[in-house]
């Protein structure tokens, strides 16, 4: 059965309870607990953004951010260590998860 994005899977709550139980079990050991997440991909190129700079003349930028006009795509990847309450973000240009992790 396929679920629409507005519908919740019937076992969704159970999945989170199970993950929370595992987290607490690992917190009581010497094992690390990390959360890994890939963030929104950003187009690299001469595109408009909402940042501000002060200058006499405006920069000329592309008025549409079509992926075909991008020089490349930046992929943000975050790792968070729950025990140490420490996180890091990495930037790469590969969509291949294994290649990205190695980079």
Instruction: Give me the residue spans of the domains in the chain.
Output: 33-102
Mean of the per-residue pLDDT values of the chain: 77
Does residue 5 register a pLDDT over 60? Answer: no
Triad 96, 37, 50: Cα angle to 5°: 95
pLDDT of 37? 73
Q: Which helix (H) or strand (E) holds 92?
A: strand 86-92
Predicted TM-score (pTM) of this structure = 0.46
């Amino acid at each position: 059965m396929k679920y629409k994005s507005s519908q919740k899977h019937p076992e969704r709550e159970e999945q989170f309870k199970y993950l929370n139980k595992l987290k607490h079990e690992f917190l009581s050991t010497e094992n690390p607990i990390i959360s890994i997440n890939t963030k929104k991909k950003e187009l690299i190129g001469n595109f408009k953004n909402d940042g501000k700079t002060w200058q006499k003349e405006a920069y000329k930028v592309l008025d549409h951010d079509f992926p075909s006009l991008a020089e490349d795509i930046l992929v943000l990847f975050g790792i968070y260590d729950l025990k140490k309450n420490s996180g890091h973000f990495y930037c790469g240009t590969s969509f291949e998860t294994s290649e990205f992790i190695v980079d």
